[in-house]
Amino acid sequence: MPNTINQNEINMLRAELELLMRERQALLKIAGVAAGFIAEMDSHELPISAVEAADLLATSINSLSEETLQDALNAVHAEIVN
């Protein structure tokens, strides 16, 4: 019986981990698209309210680690061009 309970716990943890990995991949895609959007945006042509929202988005993207940002860009097949 203990092996059954242990196997059930393992299966639950495996399912939870798979869910978290799918959610991470979805969030990486969102961050990658957002980073690409910010990079291509011309802030001079936007209303102030949109510039403020874009600044908040850019600040959030910039707070990501370099590795996570690269993962996000890779998720949407984008790259940083200097």
pLDDT tens digits for range 35-77 = 999 988 888 888 998 999 999 999 999 999 999 999 999 999 9
Q: What is the DSSP letter of 43?
A: G
Q: Give me the pLDDT at residue 46, please.
A: 87
Judge whether residue 1 has pLDDT over 80: no
Query: Against a cut of 0.95, is the pTM above it?
Result: no
CB 74 within 8 A of CB 32: yes
Residues 6+ apart with CB under 8 A from 39: 80, 81
Average pLDDT, stretch 12-31? Answer: 96
